[in-house]
Amino acid sequence: MLKLKEDNNKVWFRKSKKNLYSIASLLPLVDAELSDGPRPGVMLYSMATPQAEKIYQEVSKAKDEGIKAVYIAGGPHPSARPSDVLEYFDYVVIGEGEEALPELIEALTGNKDPKYVRGIAFKIDGKIRYTGPRPPIDLDKFPPFGMMPKAPVEISRGCPNQCAYCQTPRLFGRRMRHRSISLIVEYARRLKDMRFTSPNSLAYGSDGLKPRLEKVEALLKALSEVGKPIYFGTFPSEVRPEFVTSEALEILTKYCANRSLNIGGQSGSPKVLQAIGRGHGPREVEEACDRCLDHGVTPHVDLIFCLPMESPEDQDMTLRLAKMIVSRGGKVRAHLFTPIPGTPLESSHPSPMDEKVDACLGRMALEGKLTGSWSIRSKGTDRYGI
């Protein structure tokens, strides 16, 4: 285990466009500054799988150049692949970092033993040691962001569903936790446009299985008194289709500025939806879209192509669902299945993309009806960076 010298204990967050939300939530909790590259002291990185290789190269180069630092990694990829990350980093914070990261930094800068910090992994004598899990945090005890950088307010964390491609319930648990309305309003006031993150915005205040729309309306009513535009259930968040009811849409259109809604549809095949554990069928997706359009709201539906269990017939069903959505006035974001570490499908490979399906999606994109990155050949118009 590496320790810091007393004159070399400055803490830095590695800044990038991909990790601004993580930095926003953690920077208020540690005495650190932002950096565009490795510096002596303590270097903090937050990463997802697509950024991992580039970050490994950066850290390796910094070590070769003699930059003396303790390297700490957190985020989705390190949490799922600590053994891989510890080939390059000294410590990994696994899961939620609000409590573990400040404790680890305090141990390093205060000459204490990090082995007593729960929720981290490191190597000792060539073997990986994991200090054990921490209990889920109380979101109200931690600010969603500080002075800078600011970010959408995270209103909920955790998810009761276990979609086979998703890390959320594995990282944050299956029990939904919610920030209080008063705290959400306090921080939303600091944003020009009030925006929010949640695994399912319409599940606010609920167990995530059945909506509690009185809680959603209480939140939106309180936010409306701030006098700034409210964007709810749209980028950078989404909703599940079975939560899109007429009552929910009436509440959204009453209080919110957005006239679009992000809906996770994922597939047009009942068999595939069941296999990935979505908990709904294509009918719920269609009904959600129709209800949106009836209320003057444009549905933006996420669909995943080339899931491992997807047959040509299944893929055609998803294409037909996409065509139906755009024919009625909705829009589609198409994604190519990418296996994510720490999920049941992490070792799976995408099924082949049918050339006719690929071509049809391309035509829909040219017509402005579809965005995304749905095949190896597509150039990635997905503004989410997926």
For residue 44, the SS3 value is: strand
Rounded to the nearest angstrom, the gap between the alpha carbon of residue 103 and the centroid of all alpha carbons in its chain is 24
User: Is the four-CA dihedral 137, 143, 145, 147 of positive or negative sign?
Assistant: negative
pLDDT in single tens digits along all 386 residues of the chain: 455 555 568 999 999 888 889 999 999 999 999 999 999 999 999 999 999 999 999 999 999 999 999 999 999 999 999 999 999 999 999 999 999 999 999 999 887 899 999 999 999 989 999 999 999 999 999 999 998 888 999 999 999 999 999 999 999 999 999 999 999 999 999 999 999 999 999 999 999 999 999 999 999 999 999 999 999 999 889 999 999 999 999 999 999 999 999 999 999 999 999 999 999 999 999 999 999 999 999 999 999 999 999 999 999 999 999 999 999 999 999 999 999 999 999 999 999 999 999 999 999 999 999 999 886 554 443 332 22
Q: Are 233 and 239 in contact (CB under 8 A)?
A: yes
Strands of the sheet containing 298-305, edge to edge, are 260-266, 298-305, 331-336, 370-373
Taking CA atoms, 174 is separated from 67, 141, 199, 200, 206, in Å, by 41, 20, 11, 13, 12
pLDDT of residue 3: 52
Nearest to residue 230, comparing CAs of 202, 264, 189, 271? 189
Tell me how far apart the alpha carbons of residues 117 and 104 are, in angstroms, rounded to a whole number: 6
Q: What is the pLDDT of residue 232?
A: 98
**Which domains does the chain carry?**
11-130 (3.40.50), 148-373 (3.20.20.70)
Alpha carbons 235 and 232: distance in angstroms, whole number: 8
Among the listed residues 349, 167, 286, 292, the one whose alpha carbon sits nearest the alpha carbon of residue 303: 286
**Closest of 83, 198, 168 to residue 130, by C-alpha:** 83
- Sign for the pseudo-dihedral over CA of 134, 135, 136, 138: negative
Cβ proximity of 256 and 231 under 8 Å:
yes
Encode 260-281: b = buried (16+ Cβ within 10 Å), e = exposed: bbbbbbbbbbeebbebbebebb
